[in-house]
């Protein structure tokens, strides 16, 4: 085996125990070089779902020649690597992508704040680059590029890195999901009860956290990583394993791209900390913690959005809502997300069965139907959170619209339930009743990383 040199972009140290204080290397930021010196693709925790990796066996895939590596890259990535990333700057940096937009994509961006925004169509119109295109547009329209004096080419480079660190082979946890969550976050940031208090930093943090909240997701859940003794589970001591990895990988890419290198060190450290706090809030094991706290604030009427701490808490709630908002979309889109996430569950179940592991809850295609999974998820995870969000917004038009879609979609899934389950569901003891009100592995399987559609 040829000798390889490993480059790491550094380490980070956080003192907050809530954020799993330890000094770690950026796992998502490791690059390998062969004798030719040509960098291979970014290597995350899961190039593919490979049982050798899950058992901590060293993965030593061959580093091919420059020509072979190029064949692994999409045309879009090679185009940016060979032109934009070499410093060929367009004449109009704030509209870097405009020349590549189709007319329909441009028209869609003019309505990006509408709740019926079709992210699947937008992804097709942008040739699979929905996340990069959307973020460039939102950073521009929110005035973040000007306010933070960001270099557009550097921003674009960072966003390409984020998009490419999502695994396109995942049916659900891919860059389209990230773009969908980002579009939802944009809608929530515009809610009148919140928008008037937000600073440019709040908006940038919300958009960045939404875009990167599932980066390098392996397509399996935390219990799977733990029972296969995966190195990430060991590293993060079985606590918020995936969320910690998403966060640390994001910081690695921020540092490698040097997007914020011109800002004061204290400011960049604060941004990294707040990004961590936002991304870690998407851990479904903390659902009751956040829901209880939100209810208390609303009951006591003591939210003071002039205070940075309370604004940050509501950004956490907004991200949690955006992460699991698929049941609140129109039926046609919601159904697609439901089918995608269940396909990801079933793939995990098949992998567990293949290697004679216990099949995780909701991952057995023979026993766990899509309608039953979705009804349980909507009843015990989505509805409680979105009711409180509607309370916070004062039952805004968007909140009422989302709750209306949620009720309609739940009825649609009930009509598709196998006949033997319908009487149970109508009596109020739906198919996931045994898992209600507690943080079980079933709930992890359903929504652990925004798994719900």
Which residues are part of a known binding site? 173-177, 213-214, 323, 374
Contact status, residue 35 vs residue 28, Cβ threshold 8 Å: no
Q: Per the structure block, which two tokens stand in for 345?
A: 């569950």
Which residues in 243-297 belong to E strands, given as ranges? none
Contact status, residue 227 vs residue 357, Cβ threshold 8 Å: yes
Annotated catalytic residue: which of 80, 142, 156, 173? Answer: 173
d(CA 288, CA 319): 15
d(CA 433, CA 415): 18
> Which phi and psi (to 5°) does residue 43 adopt?
-110, 115
Q: Per the structure block, which two tokens stand in for 160?
A: 């390409």
Closest CA to 366 of 346, 352, 343: 346
d(CA 210, CA 165): 14
Q: Per the structure block, which two tokens stand in for 237?
A: 């001591």
> Which phi and psi (to 5°) does residue 11 adopt?
-130, 160
Contact status, residue 77 vs residue 40, Cβ threshold 8 Å: no
Facing residues of 13 across strands? Answer: 23
d(CA 322, CA 342): 19
Long-range contacts: 188-193, Cβ < 8 Å, 24+? 188/318, 188/321, 188/322, 188/398, 189/318, 190/113, 191/393, 191/396, 191/398, 192/393, 192/396, 193/392, 193/393, 193/394, 193/396
d(CA 25, CA 179): 27
Judged by DSSP in three states, 3 sits in coil
Q: Is 245 a catalytic residue?
A: no
3-state secondary structure 177-197: HHHHHHHHHHHHHCCHHHHCC
Binding annotation for Zn(2+): 177, 213-214, 323
Binding annotation for AMP: 173-177, 214, 323, 374
Catalytic residues: 173
């Amino acid at each position: 085996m040829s000798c390889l040199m490993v480059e790491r972009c550094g380490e980070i140290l956080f003192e907050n125990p809530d954020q799993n204080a330890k000094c770690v290397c950026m796992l998502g930021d490791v690059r390998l070089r062969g004798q030719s010196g040509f960098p291979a693709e970014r290597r995350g925790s899961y190039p593919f779902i490979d049982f050798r990796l899950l058992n901590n066996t060293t993965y030593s895939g061959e580093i091919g020649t420059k020509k072979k590596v190029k064949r692994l890259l999409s045309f879009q990535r090679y185009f940016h690597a060979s032109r934009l990333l070499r410093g060929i700057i367009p004449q109009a940096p704030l509209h870097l992508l405009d020349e590549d937009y189709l007319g329909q994509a441009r028209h869609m961006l003019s309505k990006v704040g509408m709740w019926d925004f079709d992210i699947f169509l937008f992804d097709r119109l942008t040739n699979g680059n929905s996340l990069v295109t959307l973020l460039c547009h939102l950073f521009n329209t929110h005035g973040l590029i000007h306010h933070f004096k960001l270099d557009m080419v550097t921003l674009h480079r960072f966003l390409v890195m984020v998009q490419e660190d999502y695994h396109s082979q995942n049916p659900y946890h891919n860059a389209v999901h990230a773009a969908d969550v980002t579009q939802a976050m944009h809608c929530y940031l515009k809610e009148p009860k919140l928008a008037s208090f937000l600073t440019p930093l709040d908006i940038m943090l919300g958009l960045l956290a939404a875009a990167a909240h599932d980066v390098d997701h392996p397509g399996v859940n935390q219990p799977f990583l733990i029972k296969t003794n995966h190195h990430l589970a060991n590293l993060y001591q079985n606590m918020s394993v995936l969320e910690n990895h998403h966060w640390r990988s994001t910081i690695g890419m921020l540092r490698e791209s040097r997007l914020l290198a011109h800002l004061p060190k204290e400011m960049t450290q604060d941004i990294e900390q707040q990004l961590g706090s936002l991304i870690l809030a998407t851990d479904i094991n903390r659902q009751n913690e956040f829901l209880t706290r939100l209810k208390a604030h609303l009951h006591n009427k003591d939210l003071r959005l002039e205070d940075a701490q309370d604004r940050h808490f509501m950004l956490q709630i907004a991200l949690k809502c955006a992460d699991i908002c698929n049941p609140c979309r129109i039926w046609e889109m919601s159904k697609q997300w439901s089918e995608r996430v269940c396909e990801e569950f079933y793939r995990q179940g098949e992998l567990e069965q293949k290697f004679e592991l216990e099949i995780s809850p909701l991952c057995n295609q023979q026993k766990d139907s899509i309608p039953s999974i979705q009804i349980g998820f909507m009843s015990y995870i989505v509805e409680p959170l979105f009711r409180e969000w509607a309370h916070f917004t004062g039952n805004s038009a968007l909140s009422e619209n989302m709750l209306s879609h949620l009720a309609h979609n739940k009825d649609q899934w009930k009509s598709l339930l196998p006949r033997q389950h319908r009487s149970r569901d109508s009596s109020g003891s739906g198919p996931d009743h045994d898992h209600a009100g507690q943080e079980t592995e079933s709930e992890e399987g359903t929504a652990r990383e925004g798994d719900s559609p």
